[in-house]
Structure formats: C-alpha cells, structure tokens
Amino acid sequence: MVELRDARGRPLRDLRISVTDRCNMRCRYCMPREVFGSDFAFLSKVDILTYEEIDRLASLFISLGVEKIRLSGGEPLLRKDLHELISMLALREVEIAMTTNGVLLPRYAPALSAAGLDRVTVSLDALDEATFATITDSGHTVAAVLAGIEAAESVGLGPIKINAVVKKGVNEDEILDLVERFSTRDIATRFIEYMDVGPTNGWAMEDVVPADEIRTLLADLKPLPSQYQGEVAKRYRLPQGGEVGLITSVTEPFCGDCTRARLSADGHLYTCLFASQGLDLLTPMREGATDDDLLALIESCWMARDDRYSEIRAEASPSRTRVEMSYIGG
C-alpha cells in the first residue's frame, strides 16, 4: 500500500467519527443553551449515517492507513445500541476509543467493553459541583461522571484519560484538584486550552489559560516522549507519580504533525477541527457509489489537505465560518 499523505506530507492515521450531534449537556464552550435550545434543529434520523454505512466508510479509511478510530458526538452514548457499531468495527484491525461525558457509562460500559471498545476518555472540567454546573448547564453532577469513570475502570476500558477544558475565570482553580484526584491512579488528566471551535462559544484570547501557566502551576514536570506521530497531548510525569497532558492548540500549535480526519454524523469528511466545510460522502454512497469511487473521493480530499488553522489563527478573518464542535466531534 502506498502511504497516503496530504499537501504538507502528513499521513492519515486517525479517524474521529461523530455518531450523533445531540448531547445531554450544554457546556458553554461547545453547545451553549441559548443556541442549542429546545427549538434547535438537530439532524434527523434519516440524515445520519447508519451503523452499516459507518462501518463501510471505516473500512475504507483503514485501507488508507487509519490505525485508530475514536467515536464521539455530541454525546456518543445517546446513539441507540452503540455497542452494535463497536462490534462491527472490532472485527477490523484498528484501535477503538470513545470520548464521552461519562454520565451514561454505568448503564452501558459492560456492553461496550464486551463489544470490543478498547478505552474511553471522559470529559470532566471541574470537581466542584457548583463550577461543574456552571460549565455544563445540564442538571448532571460530578458524582455521576465519577460513577461513570468507576464503571469504565471496572470493565477494563482503560487506560482512561480525563479531558478538562480550562477557561480563565471559570475553572483554572480546578487544575490542582483534578491532578490530585487522578494522579495516584492509572488515569491521565489532560488540560485543553480553550479553543475557538465553531462560531457560538464566544471565544476570546483573553479567556485562554496558556499551557505555560499550567506547567508553572504544576511545577517540576518531566517531559515524556511522544508515543506515536500525531499525538495531540504533550505528556509529562508528575513529581508525585502519575501523568498529565497538555493540549496546546492555541499557544503551541501542532498542525505540522496532525494525522487526523473527522467524519460527521451526517457523513461529511473534515480534515481539520476548525474547518469551514466538509466533503459529503453520504450522498454518493446512497446514490450507489462503489468502494473505489469513495476511496477516490477520500484520497483526493486528503491529498489536497493544507489545513494549519492554529498556526495562522492570528491571520484568519474574524468572519471565517467554522463548523461546530458538537457536530464534528471534539
């Protein structure tokens, strides 16, 4: 197989698949309630990829070099019978992970593990219930997320990672508490710089807590080597043991090593988290496109890929449209 590379020489290694655009939380940085309220027009069932269609496309991406698939949303566990999709994907030579807010894991973790899911990443931006409530605006609790983490651990869905988006004036005082909570376990907390994903989260540079500030706060971090090309998090060993990661898209962009493609719930291929538009694969597939036809579309799209938004953020037009994170998957 000839390795597929984009216009900047980056291979295709990772595929993120959004299985739904719906979520049971309304996090301010992703799906603010004033935009995604009761009258918001989410995708209809007929407009989203079936599990058979996802599996077919996944097999094509794997043939082009994809080694890791991550299921996301929205909240992926809102998609009915998700374990059925995982059991299909598990028949292929690929690592399968999932990002979730965790509250439904106590109900579904056993079936997910039995179906072949390898591991989960859980979003948890605060341990303080009041701060968590302010961020998620959902009625769910920290206790529910922690129960989800325990459920995932109990069925072997690890090593588990915790993702925490850090926003200045909101939850930067949660960093040390999160590290203390998880550093003594085989759980790595990853702190994510608040990003300008989508047009509705009110992002401003002054709301970003730079990675350098987090490194200074944690102190005496020992850098760890990358585990593979395209690894997003900068990894560190904590003085007391355990691991922490920093995802630094804003202040220390990593576009040059990005090996990730994204497939939205309605079958559009995106080559960047900050993309303005995607390539429709669902329509040609439903109109009878062969695997070779679809492969040609995917190959052409990836080979033309020249994305490096985070490197040129300061130069980007303020009016530039960007797809919502809840639609494309974080």
Q: Which sign does the torsion angle of CA 239, 242, 248, 253 carry?
A: positive
Cβ-proximal residues to 174 (8 Å cutoff; 6+ apart), any chain = 125, 126, 127, 128, 131, 164, 166
What does the domain layout of the chain look like in residue ranges? 14-328
**pLDDT given for residue 198 in this prediction:** 79
Of 252, 191, 241, 248, the closest CA to residue 217 belongs to: 191
**pLDDT given for residue 252 in this prediction:** 93
CA separation for the pair 203, 29 (Å, rounded)? 8
**pLDDT given for residue 19 in this prediction:** 98
Of 165, 146, 162, the closest CA to residue 154 belongs to: 146
pTM for the structure as a whole: 0.95
CB 126 within 8 Å of CB 181: no
**pLDDT given for residue 39 in this prediction:** 94
For the chain, give percent helix, strand, coil, nearest 5.
35, 20, 50
**14-328 CATH pick, 3.90.170.10, 3.20.20.70, 3.40.50.300, 3.30.70.100:** 3.20.20.70
CA separation for the pair 106, 3 (Å, rounded)? 40
CA separation for the pair 195, 182 (Å, rounded)? 24
Q: Going from the first residue of the chain to its last (330 residues), give the mean pLDDT of each consecutive group of 10, the final group possibly shorter.
A: 88 98 95 93 97 98 97 97 98 97 98 98 98 97 98 97 97 97 92 88 91 96 90 93 94 93 97 92 98 98 94 68 78
Helix axes 142-154, 129-136, angle to 10 degrees: 90
